[in-house]
Amino acid sequence: MLKNEFQAGGRTPHHEQLTGDLVVVGGGMAGVCGSITAARQGLRVLLVQDRPVLGGNASSEVRLWALGATSHMGNNNRWAREGGVAGEILVENLWRNPEGNPILMDALLLEWVTREPNITLLLNTAVSAIEMDANGGISGALAFCSQNETSYTLTAPLFCDASGDGILGYLSGAAFRMGAEATSEFGEGLAGPEPVHELLGHTLFFYSRDTGKPVTYIPPAFAISDITKIPRYRELRVTDTGCRLWWLEYGGDMDTVHGSEEIKWELWRIAYGVWNYIKNSGEFPDAANLTLEWMGTIPGKRESRRFEGDHILTQQDIVEQRTHNDAVSLGGWAIDIHPARGVYSAEPSCVQWHAKGVYQIPFRTMYSRNIPNLFLAGRILSSTHIAFGSTRVMVTCGHNAQAVGMAAALCIEEKILPRELLDEGRMERLQRRLLRAGQHIPGVRLRDPQDLASTAKMSATSSLHIDTLVASGELRDANMPCALLLPVTAGPIPAISLLVDAATQASLHMEVWKSSKAGNTTPDVKLASADVVVEAGQSIPAKFHFDAHIDQDSHVFFIVAPAAGVQLHMSKAQLPGVLTLWQTLNRAVAKSAVQNPPEGSGIDSFAFWLPERRPVARNLAVTVDPPVQCYEPEMAINGWGRPWSGANAWAPATEDTAPRLRLKWDTPQTLRTIELTFDADFDHPMESVLMGHPERVMPGCVTSFTVSTAEGETLATVAEHHQSYWRLTLAKPVTTAGIELAILGHGSAPPAVFEARCY
């Protein structure tokens, strides 16, 4: 029995002092991805999260689907899904949880963090104070866990604020801003004439469930009773649950940090009032059997403080796709701005302006400009309110934080502070390490002198060519513009044969376009056009010849104009870096098929060319003459880890039943590490919750394989593989004249290998 007598002067809570290399505050997608990246580089990471689970807005406590540059596949950013840890988590979530159950996403994040031996995870632990050192840096963070009644002092040479509101930055005195800038400050066309306190607000979601029998609903007294206060109430649908209710937003004109509890109460009033309207207004007979299964208890926060780094990301960085020597990450979500009054505003709930492609995010936005050892991760990134409209999404936050985690590793190794990474040579090291870990830095190719694969002679049992996409018998009316997006090698543009059914004689028109910027997949440069007349009939080939060429390997659009009475034959063939696109819109992220921005806004007008999702997605059935030879073995060592101005993959011919990729050296090499990256379909957004997906493994992914030496020693046998990245670290180095990858299994598409590296 424990008996404690009265203690004069009171007691202090149990206290623990923890020391690491990096303290990360906040366990949202940013904190998680940054911590794992740093820990994998050998840093001792202390990750503090005030909630019982990880993920922040991606957790089951808020239930938002994590998204990034792919933007629900609703813009022209092809193959833009983030890499590294963030990508790995999405791919793993798809493998384990294709139904998008938020509880399973929680469990995955918890597993991914706790399996890293270098991470000390403190859940239910909130940082509330800090200690500063004599150099103006942070020396300690003070935290308390109410569950185990323990206070912590966390010390490290480096700190990363991934807390969303920026508790470390705020307490340390780091420069920050809140609200919207005026145009005069950065020249942003979308900004207003005056700086204003207008932010994006908070939101609470709910889930409903069909019980199979009528369910009565009596709302709490605090629920709003007059639904007409919400101008958009007529758009409510019974099927809207979870983050489809993103527009139940409130508080953007308030103090979104200190007013957070007040905002939450209003959101509860709104959400329970909306459910009351659905259940009891008589407008929704389909709701009779529904019960309110889950109601959010903490709001999803969109915007509060944005801290200032050495660079503040602006609208122009995004729209003009400006390049930066210190580029370490990418963005690609639209500039997505909401009215500050949220659900009570009569304005549209959001306006989204897309760029023509993904944009670089520089490292200078990821550390405080005046607190020397403070990294910024997540939505507190250094950006204007307008640019924040794009950078704020969670996979972008996670991907940026990976750059922070890797930067922290370099800082510890070299005993330097974040800003010093901008010095000669260091930024290249940071970029190289990031690219090796799967980071996508638009336009930055991995060139690694240490990589022995770059000196190898590449060969393979066969290589795929883009020759004929065989017709499957399925037809589509040629009633909207569509395009075949092909990776074409430098030289003349090949002729393309379509296969069509025509009710009467018809004139077909095809245009060839490319993008003005390398890596983009927005057609804005016309190269050629051709017309072909076809007679009435079925399965008629229509061959288009073009008098044009390209100087560099590039993605090229073969655009088929609509033609009355014509049907296009489709193909089930899927090839890496090849897509059929439709000039249409995705209502989740755009209001029209052609973006029409206001005059003077600085936003480009262009058409959206969108692929369909599997399982309905099909390619146009075509013959390409001469065939495009873009999947040669050398592609696996060209430094690009995904389709970018080309397919950048080796893939074997379809008839090759035992495909092998071989690396050979004239003199034997001693290898310790082998890295391969496979095709986990970077075009797929892999929304993490709510929205189910039909596949668990991407069709072009290599699912089973062996890696052996030229001398016949098997180094690895792998089954049930589904990730893009694979790494083998040999317990004992091997000396060999070559390495062979034998592909034993893959999905319905040709297996593609983007990268092979040896060290």
Which pair of structure tokens corresponds to residue 717? 């046998």
Based on CB atoms, which residue is closest to ligand FAD, 407 or 635? 407
Q: Do the bridges between strand 466-468 and strand 506-514 make them parallel or antiparallel, or are there none, so unpaired?
A: unpaired
* Tokens 């020759």, residue located: 467
What SS3 string covers 631-656? CCHHHHHCCCCCCCCCCCCECCCCCC
Closest distance between ligand FAD and the C-beta of residue 318, in Å? 16
CB atoms within 10 A of CB 279: 21
Closest distance between ligand FAD and the C-beta of residue 513, in Å? 31
Based on CB atoms, which residue is closest to ligand FAD, 126 or 718? 126
Based on CB atoms, which residue is closest to ligand FAD, 27 or 747? 27
669 beta partners: 736
Based on CB atoms, which residue is closest to ligand FAD, 46 or 48? 48
Which pair of structure tokens corresponds to residue 626? 């001469």
Closest distance between ligand FAD and the C-beta of residue 31, in Å? 6
What SS3 string covers 199-220? CCCEECCEEEEECCCCCCCCCC
Based on CB atoms, which residue is closest to ligand FAD, 404 or 550? 404
Based on CB atoms, which residue is closest to ligand FAD, 66 or 236? 66
Contacts of 672 (CB under 8 A, 6+ apart): 729, 730, 733, 759
Closest distance between ligand FAD and the C-beta of residue 687, in Å? 8
In DSSP notation, 383-419 reads B-HHHHHHHTSHHHHHHHHHHHHHHHHHHHHHT--GG
Closest distance between ligand FAD and the C-beta of residue 313, in Å? 14
Query: What's the number of CA atoms in the CB half-sphere (13 Å) around residue 15?
Result: 8
Query: Quick one: angle between helices 394-414 and 29-40, nearest 10?
Result: 30
* Tokens 């080796």, residue located: 650
- Judged by the rule CB under 6 A, the positions of this chain that interact with ligand FAD are 25-31, 48-51, 56-57, 64-67, 126-127, 162-165, 167, 203, 243, 246, 300-302, 378-379, 392-395, 397
Q: How far apart are alpha carbons 95 and 223 in whole angstroms?
A: 39
Based on CB atoms, which residue is closest to ligand FAD, 392 or 662? 392
Selection from 33, 8, 23, 655 nearest residue 401 by Cα: 33
Burial class (CB in 10 A: 0-12, 13-18, 19+), 320: middle
Going by the DSSP 8-state scheme, the letter that residue 551 receives in this structure is S
Cα–Cα separations (whole angstroms), residue 138 to 22, 129, 165, 363, 728: 11, 11, 17, 20, 38
Based on CB atoms, which residue is closest to ligand FAD, 66 or 510? 66
CB atoms within 10 A of CB 109: 26
Based on CB atoms, which residue is closest to ligand FAD, 26 or 652? 26
Q: What DSSP element (H or E) covers 105?
A: helix 102-114
Based on CB atoms, which residue is closest to ligand FAD, 296 or 577? 296
Closest distance between ligand FAD and the C-beta of residue 363, in Å? 17
Closest distance between ligand FAD and the C-beta of residue 388, in Å? 9
Based on CB atoms, which residue is closest to ligand FAD, 123 or 485? 123
Q: Taking a C-beta distance cutoff of 8 angstroms, is the pair 682, 86 a contact?
A: no
Query: What's the number of CA atoms in the CB half-sphere (13 Å) around residue 728?
Result: 22
Based on CB atoms, which residue is closest to ligand FAD, 164 or 659? 164
Closest distance between ligand FAD and the C-beta of residue 147, in Å? 13
Q: What DSSP element (H or E) covers 94?
A: helix 84-96
Q: How far apart are alpha carbons 488 and 469 in whole angstroms?
A: 15
Closest distance between ligand FAD and the C-beta of residue 91, in Å? 16
Closest distance between ligand FAD and the C-beta of residue 247, in Å? 8
Closest distance between ligand FAD and the C-beta of residue 163, in Å? 4
Closest distance between ligand FAD and the C-beta of residue 691, in Å? 10
CB atoms within 10 A of CB 7: 7
Going by the DSSP 8-state scheme, the letter that residue 239 receives in this structure is T
Closest distance between ligand FAD and the C-beta of residue 139, in Å? 17
Contacts of 1 (CB under 8 A, 6+ apart): none
Task: Examine residue 626 and say whether the peptide bond preceding it is cis (omega within 30 degrees of 0).
Answer: yes
* CA angle at 681 for the pair 676 and 682, rounded to the nearest 5°: 90
Closest distance between ligand FAD and the C-beta of residue 320, in Å? 23
* Tokens 């072009």, residue located: 700
Based on CB atoms, which residue is closest to ligand FAD, 157 or 252? 252
Closest distance between ligand FAD and the C-beta of residue 50, in Å? 4
Based on CB atoms, which residue is closest to ligand FAD, 153 or 673? 153
Based on CB atoms, which residue is closest to ligand FAD, 394 or 637? 394
Task: Examine residue 615 and say whether the peptide bond preceding it is cis (omega within 30 degrees of 0).
Answer: yes
Which pair of structure tokens corresponds to residue 87? 């990508």
